[in-house]
Amino acid sequence: MLKAGPLLTVTQLESGYNHLQILWDVSLKVLKGEMVALLGRNGAGKTTTLRTIAGLLKPKAGQIDFMDHRIDGLPAHEISRMRISFVPENLHLFPAMSVMENLLLGAYGIRDPGRTKGSLAFVCDTFPALARRRKQLAGSLSGGERRMLALGRGLMSQPELLLVDEPSLGLAPKMATTVFDTLSKLKLAGLTILLVEQNVHTTLQISDRSYVLEQGRIVMEGRSKELMKDDHVCKTYLGSGDD
Amino acid sequence: MLGPTALWDLFVTGIFRGGMYALMAVGLSLVFGVMNIPHFAHGEFYMLGAYTAYFAFAVFHFPAFMAILSAASMGLLAGVLVEKLVFYPLRRRHPEEWVLNTFLVTVGLSFVMQNAALAVWGGQYRGITQYWQGAIQLGSGMHISLDRAISFIVAIFCIAVLWWFLDFTRTGKAIRAVAQDETGALLVGIDLDQIHTITFGLSSLMAAIAGASLLSLNPAYPSVGLAPLYKSWYVVVLVGLGNMAGAIPGGFLVGLLETFSYYAFGSGWQDVISLSILILILLLKPAGLFGNRGISLSKA
């Protein structure tokens, strides 16, 4: 009945920790089916943006809308049940539980066993390594496996929007490639993704659009392909190291 | 010097004593592990259970099991109320320095509950001679009262049910998830407020059951909960704070330790011996016997 608007709209968001304000006037939009990236240096406010959208931080001002609902200020567990999954940089797995228990807790908000089974089949299909290790304790997995488990757990709730923070951090290059391939596949399968990544080069290649954050403000936005050719982006984020 | 029968008798006595310690300690451990509260009012729920069972059994003439069951319901109700009225508002308004603040709050709660009991029921002992008549005879010729035996079975049963609950139910898994990673639990959609209320209610329920089923051994009076509180802290510190599984063998270990030191050195020495052993263990293993994590002083 309504014209399809953006899935997620962040308007003039201000946020931070206690008395330390980190985000100033951040506005962004994510359309359904898009992969959008947030770029910026350490401390630019990328993680703070994701944490605020996920409800782990209360915004000081501004508005966040998701699928016609205003979600700013809601507690994190309610936002999770509205089908926004946040896969944080430091994962927050349940270390003394098995891989399977971690995955099933990912579907905590789903009370329909049939749907949970469907999610589980999808996740095991996406991450065969997790299926092989389903009885192992999450705390005993390798770094790469843990990251996959966190992604898998995030997908168990069948989210509309996936917020991913630094999915390739600390991974061997081959493992990082696997993670990026998986994200691309998920996007093709119709998932909407808001991605924060330190690997700017790859991120610009796989994402549709990007926002550049500097000192808590959005300084640029555009199609990722165009940003790749932009002087400022090239100099600041692609200048050294990548390629 | 100790024949096999005497040894066996001591062993059985220690195990029977340990069952209740384990039941109390598991609740304490649950509250610390899930809510990060060093709970010093745990004994007052034991006291509440003892009083409830006394009135149900001796005044209203309920059957014994019904008396214990009403104590359990009272414990659950009181636990839920205390969580909603005390810890929930505190968490909302001032989550900083949580461990220290909740420690002070539970100490205060303990005073308030004890004095409320004193005001309402007076200081006299309210006990019963027994729930069930009779005794069972062990192979060696030692008799153990049926009350003692049944209270042991009740303790084991409660612990088993709790374990089943934590392992196999959706809410139980959520409780363990909160204990392992609070942020992770929030991110998968677990309502922390709800889990905290359930956890505190369950822990108080178990303390009340302990107080009720030991009523014939320890009559109800306002400060009856102090001794069980100290014992359960002893167990929890011995095995390592927040280690729920460790609280069970820990309870039995303390029961055995006390029984043997009582036998070897007399009743005046039993606390001295067991506390000296605790100090020794903490000197060698500061995180406790089975402890692997330190105490985290912040909630985040």
Q: What digits encode the pLDDT tens for the residues A138-186?
A: 999 998 899 999 999 999 999 999 999 999 988 888 889 989 999 999 9
In this prediction, residues B243-265 reach a mean pLDDT of 89
Beta carbons of B183 and A54 less than 8 Å apart? no
Distance CA A53, CA B127 (A): 58
Q: What is the mean pLDDT of chain A?
A: 91
Closest CA to B181 of A119, A183, A131, A101: A101
Distance CA B36, CA A230 (A): 50
A-proximal residues of B, 160-179, CB under 8 Å: 170, 173-174, 176-177
Read off the pTM. Answer: 0.91
Distance CA A137, CA B248 (A): 22
Q: Which residues of A touch B180 (CB under 8 A)?
A: 94-97
Burial code (b: 16+ CB inside 10 Å, e: under 16) for A136-163 equals ebbeebeebbbbbbbbbbbbbbbbbbbb
pLDDT exceeds 50 at position B124: yes
The alpha-carbon gap from A55 to the nearest alpha carbon of chain B, in Å, equals 9
Q: What digits encode the pLDDT tens for the residues A193-219?
A: 999 998 888 999 999 999 999 999 999
SS in 3 state form for A73-117? Answer: CCCHHHHHHCCEEEECCCCCCCCCCEHHHHHHHHCCCCCCHHHHH
Distance CA B205, CA B73 (A): 7
Beta carbons of B187 and A97 less than 8 Å apart? no
- Residue B190 sits at the chain A interface (C-beta within 8 Å): yes
Sheet of strand A8-17: strand arrangement: A20-30, A8-17, A61-66, A69-70
- Residue B95 sits at the chain A interface (C-beta within 8 Å): no
Q: What digits encode the pLDDT tens for the residues A13-48?
A: 999 998 899 999 999 999 999 999 999 988 899 999
- Residue B181 sits at the chain A interface (C-beta within 8 Å): yes
- With 0-12 / 13-18 / 19 or more C-beta atoms within 10 angstroms meaning exposed / middle / buried, residue B123 is exposed
Beta carbons of A108 and B188 less than 8 Å apart? yes
Pairing of strands A84-87, B135-137: unpaired
Q: Which of B165-169, B184-188, B244-248 has the weakest average pLDDT? A: B244-248
Higher pLDDT, B175 or B1: B175
- Residue A82 sits at the chain B interface (C-beta within 8 Å): no
Rounded to an integer, what is the distance from CA B11 to the centroid of its chain? 21
DSSP label of B57:
I
- Cα end-to-end span (Å), chain B: 54
The alpha-carbon gap from A230 to the nearest alpha carbon of chain B, in Å, equals 36
Nearest-Å Rg of the Cα atoms of chain A is 18
Count Cα neighbours of B143 within 13 Å in the Cβ-side half-sphere.
6
DSSP label of B129:
S
Mutation site for A-interface testing, chosen from B188, B193, B244 by largest number of A Cβ within 10 Å: B188
- pLDDT category of residue A243 using cuts at 50, 70 and 90: very low
pLDDT number for residue B179: 94
Token digits of residue A241? 């190291």
Q: What digits encode the pLDDT tens for the residues B21-52?
A: 999 999 999 999 999 999 999 999 999 999 99
**pLDDT above 90: percentage of residues in chain B:** 72
Q: Which of A77, A86, A156 sits opposite B190 (nearest CB)?
A: A77
Q: What is the mean pLDDT of chain B?
A: 91
Q: Which of B180, B181, B187 sits opposite A76 (nearest CB)?
A: B187
